[in-house]
Protein backbone atom coordinates (compact mmCIF):
# COMPACT_ATOMS: atom_id res chain seq x y z
CA UNK A 1 0.00 0.00 0.00
CA UNK A 2 1.34 3.43 -0.91
CA UNK A 3 2.07 5.91 1.83
CA UNK A 4 1.94 9.60 1.17
CA UNK A 5 4.51 11.72 2.97
CA UNK A 6 3.57 15.11 4.30
CA UNK A 7 6.59 17.37 4.02
CA UNK A 8 6.69 20.47 6.19
CA UNK A 9 9.21 23.08 5.09
CA UNK A 10 10.18 24.12 8.60
CA UNK A 11 9.51 20.84 10.40
CA UNK A 12 12.28 19.54 12.58
CA UNK A 13 10.97 16.01 12.32
CA UNK A 14 9.91 14.44 9.04
CA UNK A 15 8.33 11.17 8.02
CA UNK A 16 5.47 9.43 6.33
CA UNK A 17 1.91 9.62 7.53
CA UNK A 18 -0.03 6.39 7.22
CA UNK A 19 -3.38 5.20 8.52
CA UNK A 20 -2.42 1.54 8.20
CA UNK A 21 -0.80 -0.71 10.75
CA UNK A 22 0.60 -4.22 10.69
CA UNK A 23 1.16 -6.79 13.43
CA UNK A 24 3.97 -9.08 14.47
CA UNK A 25 3.78 -12.06 16.81
CA UNK A 26 6.30 -12.72 19.56
CA UNK A 27 6.81 -16.26 20.83
CA UNK A 28 6.53 -16.52 24.62
CA UNK A 29 7.47 -20.19 25.14
CA UNK A 30 9.07 -23.16 23.31
CA UNK A 31 5.61 -24.49 22.36
CA UNK A 32 5.04 -21.52 20.06
CA UNK A 33 6.31 -20.84 16.56
CA UNK A 34 6.06 -17.59 14.59
CA UNK A 35 5.68 -18.18 10.88
CA UNK A 36 4.28 -16.73 7.64
CA UNK A 37 1.06 -17.92 6.03
CA UNK A 38 0.23 -16.61 2.55
CA UNK A 39 2.45 -13.59 3.08
CA UNK A 40 0.97 -12.76 6.48
CA UNK A 41 2.50 -13.21 9.94
CA UNK A 42 1.00 -16.00 12.00
CA UNK A 43 1.66 -17.88 15.19
CA UNK A 44 1.13 -21.50 16.18
CA UNK A 45 0.71 -22.28 19.87
CA UNK A 46 0.64 -25.88 21.07
CA UNK A 47 -0.45 -27.04 24.50
CA UNK A 48 -1.11 -30.50 25.94
CA UNK A 49 -4.53 -31.05 24.39
CA UNK A 50 -4.94 -28.27 21.83
CA UNK A 51 -3.29 -26.30 19.08
CA UNK A 52 -4.15 -22.70 18.20
CA UNK A 53 -3.24 -20.89 14.98
CA UNK A 54 -3.62 -17.09 14.90
CA UNK A 55 -3.14 -14.62 12.05
CA UNK A 56 -4.50 -11.15 11.23
CA UNK A 57 -7.74 -11.13 9.22
CA UNK A 58 -6.28 -8.50 6.88
CA UNK A 59 -2.78 -7.63 5.73
CA UNK A 60 -3.12 -4.24 7.35
CA UNK A 61 -5.32 -2.81 10.09
CA UNK A 62 -6.84 0.65 10.11
CA UNK A 63 -5.05 2.78 12.68
CA UNK A 64 -7.27 3.22 15.75
CA UNK A 65 -9.64 0.63 14.32
CA UNK A 66 -10.60 -2.76 15.68
CA UNK A 67 -7.94 -5.43 15.23
CA UNK A 68 -9.48 -8.60 13.80
CA UNK A 69 -7.70 -11.95 13.92
CA UNK A 70 -8.51 -15.31 12.41
CA UNK A 71 -8.23 -18.03 15.05
CA UNK A 72 -8.03 -21.73 14.28
CA UNK A 73 -8.34 -24.28 17.09
CA UNK A 74 -7.55 -27.99 16.93
CA UNK A 75 -8.52 -30.46 19.65
CA UNK A 76 -5.51 -32.77 20.05
CA UNK A 77 -7.01 -34.70 22.94
CA UNK A 78 -9.19 -37.77 23.01
CA UNK A 79 -12.12 -36.11 24.76
CA UNK A 80 -14.33 -33.16 23.72
CA UNK A 81 -13.16 -29.72 24.88
CA UNK A 82 -15.04 -26.44 25.14
CA UNK A 83 -14.06 -23.10 23.69
CA UNK A 84 -15.88 -20.12 25.18
CA UNK A 85 -15.54 -16.59 23.83
CA UNK A 86 -16.19 -15.24 27.34
CA UNK A 87 -12.93 -16.87 28.44
CA UNK A 88 -10.84 -15.04 25.83
CA UNK A 89 -8.80 -12.24 27.39
CA UNK A 90 -7.07 -9.30 25.72
CA UNK A 91 -4.65 -7.06 27.64
CA UNK A 92 -2.76 -4.04 26.36
CA UNK A 93 0.60 -3.18 27.92
CA UNK A 94 1.24 0.55 28.31
CA UNK A 95 4.26 1.85 30.22
CA UNK A 96 4.44 -1.11 32.54
CA UNK A 97 0.70 -1.08 33.20
CA UNK A 98 -1.84 -3.57 31.84
CA UNK A 99 -5.22 -2.46 30.49
CA UNK A 100 -8.08 -4.73 29.54
CA UNK A 101 -9.21 -4.69 25.90
CA UNK A 102 -12.80 -5.63 25.19
CA UNK A 103 -13.47 -8.73 23.11
CA UNK A 104 -16.24 -7.76 20.68
CA UNK A 105 -18.51 -10.80 20.58
CA UNK A 106 -20.75 -12.08 17.83
CA UNK A 107 -23.81 -10.87 19.76
CA UNK A 108 -22.35 -7.35 19.99
CA UNK A 109 -21.57 -7.29 16.28
CA UNK A 110 -25.09 -8.46 15.46
CA UNK A 111 -26.60 -5.68 17.60
CA UNK A 112 -24.37 -3.12 15.86
CA UNK A 113 -25.55 -4.39 12.48
CA UNK A 114 -29.19 -4.21 13.62
CA UNK A 115 -28.64 -0.60 14.65
CA UNK A 116 -27.13 0.16 11.26
CA UNK A 117 -30.09 -1.50 9.58
CA UNK A 118 -32.48 0.75 11.51
CA UNK A 119 -30.51 3.81 10.38
CA UNK A 120 -30.47 2.59 6.77
CA UNK A 121 -34.22 1.92 6.92
CA UNK A 122 -34.88 5.47 8.17
CA UNK A 123 -32.81 6.99 5.35
CA UNK A 124 -34.48 4.72 2.81
CA UNK A 125 -37.91 5.67 4.14
CA UNK A 126 -37.11 9.37 3.87
CA UNK A 127 -35.88 8.93 0.31
CA UNK A 128 -38.98 6.90 -0.59
CA UNK A 129 -41.24 9.55 0.91
CA UNK A 130 -39.46 12.20 -1.15
CA UNK A 131 -39.95 10.16 -4.31
CA UNK A 132 -43.62 9.62 -3.55
CA UNK A 133 -44.21 13.31 -2.88
CA UNK A 134 -42.47 14.33 -6.10
CA UNK A 135 -44.56 11.82 -8.04
CA UNK A 136 -47.75 13.15 -6.46
CA UNK A 137 -46.96 16.57 -7.88
CA UNK A 138 -46.24 15.24 -11.35
CA UNK A 139 -48.71 15.90 -14.15
CA UNK A 140 -49.46 19.43 -13.01
CA UNK A 141 -48.22 22.30 -15.14
CA UNK A 142 -48.87 25.83 -16.23
CA UNK A 143 -49.01 27.58 -19.59
CA UNK A 144 -48.89 31.03 -21.08
CA UNK A 145 -50.54 31.81 -24.41
CA UNK A 146 -49.07 34.24 -26.96
CA UNK A 147 -51.71 36.71 -25.89
CA UNK A 148 -50.45 36.56 -22.33
CA UNK A 149 -53.18 34.43 -20.89
CA UNK A 150 -52.02 32.00 -18.20
CA UNK A 151 -53.50 28.86 -16.78
CA UNK A 152 -52.82 25.43 -15.32
CA UNK A 153 -53.36 21.94 -16.58
CA UNK A 154 -53.14 18.34 -15.37
CA UNK A 155 -51.86 15.35 -17.38
CA UNK A 156 -53.03 11.97 -16.02
CA UNK A 157 -50.56 10.20 -18.33
CA UNK A 158 -47.55 12.14 -17.02
CA UNK A 159 -48.73 11.60 -13.44
CA UNK A 160 -49.11 7.85 -13.99
CA UNK A 161 -45.61 7.58 -15.50
CA UNK A 162 -44.01 9.55 -12.65
CA UNK A 163 -45.82 7.53 -9.99
CA UNK A 164 -44.83 4.27 -11.67
CA UNK A 165 -41.18 5.33 -11.81
CA UNK A 166 -41.25 6.41 -8.17
CA UNK A 167 -42.82 3.12 -7.11
CA UNK A 168 -40.15 1.14 -8.99
CA UNK A 169 -37.35 3.24 -7.48
CA UNK A 170 -38.75 2.85 -3.97
CA UNK A 171 -39.13 -0.90 -4.34
CA UNK A 172 -35.54 -1.15 -5.58
CA UNK A 173 -34.21 0.95 -2.66
CA UNK A 174 -36.12 -1.08 -0.09
CA UNK A 175 -35.01 -4.38 -1.65
CA UNK A 176 -31.37 -3.23 -1.64
CA UNK A 177 -31.61 -2.18 2.01
CA UNK A 178 -33.09 -5.54 3.02
CA UNK A 179 -30.58 -7.53 0.95
CA UNK A 180 -27.65 -5.59 2.40
CA UNK A 181 -28.83 -6.28 5.93
CA UNK A 182 -29.36 -9.97 5.24
CA UNK A 183 -25.96 -10.26 3.54
CA UNK A 184 -24.18 -8.58 6.46
CA UNK A 185 -25.95 -10.82 8.99
CA UNK A 186 -24.97 -13.91 7.00
CA UNK A 187 -21.35 -12.76 6.84
CA UNK A 188 -21.27 -12.33 10.62
CA UNK A 189 -22.85 -15.75 11.16
CA UNK A 190 -20.31 -17.42 8.91
CA UNK A 191 -17.15 -15.56 9.91
CA UNK A 192 -17.21 -14.60 13.60
CA UNK A 193 -15.96 -17.09 16.19
CA UNK A 194 -18.49 -18.30 18.77
CA UNK A 195 -18.75 -20.78 21.65
CA UNK A 196 -18.08 -24.28 20.42
CA UNK A 197 -17.41 -27.79 21.69
CA UNK A 198 -14.64 -29.46 19.70
CA UNK A 199 -14.70 -33.20 19.26
CA UNK A 200 -11.43 -35.15 19.31
CA UNK A 201 -9.33 -34.17 16.29
CA UNK A 202 -11.79 -31.45 15.21
CA UNK A 203 -10.80 -28.04 13.88
CA UNK A 204 -12.87 -24.93 14.59
CA UNK A 205 -12.24 -21.24 14.02
CA UNK A 206 -13.39 -17.80 12.99
CA UNK A 207 -12.74 -14.11 13.37
CA UNK A 208 -11.91 -12.65 16.77
CA UNK A 209 -12.72 -8.91 17.02
CA UNK A 210 -11.08 -6.70 19.65
CA UNK A 211 -11.69 -3.14 20.76
CA UNK A 212 -9.04 -0.75 19.38
CA UNK A 213 -5.88 -0.62 21.48
CA UNK A 214 -5.05 2.75 23.04
CA UNK A 215 -3.05 4.93 20.66
CA UNK A 216 0.60 5.35 21.57
CA UNK A 217 1.31 8.52 19.66
CA UNK A 218 2.06 6.66 16.47
CA UNK A 219 4.35 4.21 18.24
CA UNK A 220 4.00 0.45 18.58
CA UNK A 221 1.12 -0.97 20.60
CA UNK A 222 1.74 -4.21 22.44
CA UNK A 223 -0.98 -6.48 23.74
CA UNK A 224 -1.64 -10.09 24.66
CA UNK A 225 -4.52 -12.36 23.73
CA UNK A 226 -5.17 -15.33 26.00
CA UNK A 227 -7.20 -18.08 24.34
CA UNK A 228 -8.45 -20.82 26.66
CA UNK A 229 -9.34 -24.21 25.18
CA UNK A 230 -10.51 -26.63 27.83
CA UNK A 231 -7.74 -26.56 30.46
CA UNK A 232 -5.13 -25.16 28.03
CA UNK A 233 -4.18 -21.47 27.99
CA UNK A 234 -2.58 -20.07 24.84
CA UNK A 235 -0.84 -16.74 25.47
CA UNK A 236 -0.37 -14.77 22.23
CA UNK A 237 1.89 -11.68 22.39
CA UNK A 238 1.38 -9.11 19.62
CA UNK A 239 3.09 -5.88 18.55
CA UNK A 240 1.06 -3.56 16.29
CA UNK A 241 2.58 -0.53 14.62
CA UNK A 242 2.60 1.69 11.53
CA UNK A 243 2.90 -0.21 8.26
CA UNK A 244 6.40 -0.17 6.88
CA UNK A 245 7.84 1.11 10.14
Residue 197: CATH number of its domain: 2.60.40.10
> Do both 27 and 95 map to the same domain?
yes
How many angstroms separate the Cα of 211 from the Cα of each of 61, 67, 132, 154, 193?
Answer: 12, 7, 42, 59, 15
Q: What is the predicted pLDDT for the residue at 245?
A: 58
Q: Is residue 93 part of a domain?
A: yes
Full domain range(s) for residue 217: 22-105+193-242
Question: pLDDT in tens for each of the 245 residues of the chain?
Answer: 433 333 333 333 344 445 889 999 999 889 999 999 888 999 999 999 999 999 999 999 998 899 999 999 999 999 999 999 999 999 999 988 999 999 999 999 999 999 988 888 888 888 878 887 787 777 777 878 788 888 777 778 877 887 888 788 878 878 888 888 888 888 888 889 999 999 999 999 999 999 999 987 778 899 999 999 999 999 999 999 988 75
What backbone torsions phi and psi does residue 177 show, to the nearest 5 degrees? -60, -45
CB 232 within 8 A of CB 84: no
**Which residues have a Cβ under 8 Å from the Cβ of 26 and sit 6 or more positions away?**
34, 237, 238, 239
CB 10 within 8 A of CB 28: no
> Do both 143 and 164 map to the same domain?
yes
Q: What is the predicted pLDDT for the residue at 17?
A: 46
Q: What is the predicted pLDDT for the residue at 172?
A: 85
> Do both 184 and 222 map to the same domain?
no
The whole-angstrom separation of Cα 212 and Cα 40 is 20
The whole-angstrom separation of Cα 100 and Cα 93 is 9
Domain boundary, last residue among 188, 211, 227: 188
Domain boundary, last residue among 172, 188, 204: 188
Continuous segment of H or E residues that includes residue 210: strand 203-210
DSSP-derived secondary structure letter, 102:
-
* pTM of structure: 0.75
Q: What is the predicted pLDDT for the residue at 18?
A: 57
How many angstroms separate the Cα of 239 from the Cα of each of 54, 72, 213, 236, 245?
Answer: 14, 20, 11, 10, 12
Which among 27, 30, 5, 29 has a CA at the least distance from the CA of 16? 5
Q: What is the predicted pLDDT for the residue at 7?
A: 32
> Do both 101 and 142 map to the same domain?
no
Q: What is the predicted pLDDT for the residue at 97?
A: 92
Q: How many domains does the chain have?
A: 2
Q: What is the predicted pLDDT for the residue at 64?
A: 87
Q: What is the predicted pLDDT for the residue at 5?
A: 37
> Do both 52 and 101 map to the same domain?
yes
Which among 38, 43, 72 has a CA at the least distance from the CA of 58? 38
CB 65 within 8 A of CB 209: no
**Which residues have a Cβ under 8 Å from the Cβ of 140 and sit 6 or more positions away?**
152, 153, 154, 159
Amino acid sequence: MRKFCVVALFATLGGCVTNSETVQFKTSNPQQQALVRDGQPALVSRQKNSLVLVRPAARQFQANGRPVFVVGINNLGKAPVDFRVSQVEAIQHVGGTDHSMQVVTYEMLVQEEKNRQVARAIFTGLAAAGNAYSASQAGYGSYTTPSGRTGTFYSPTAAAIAQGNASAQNEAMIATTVETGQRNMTALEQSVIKDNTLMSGEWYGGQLHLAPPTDQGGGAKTYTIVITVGADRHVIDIAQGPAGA
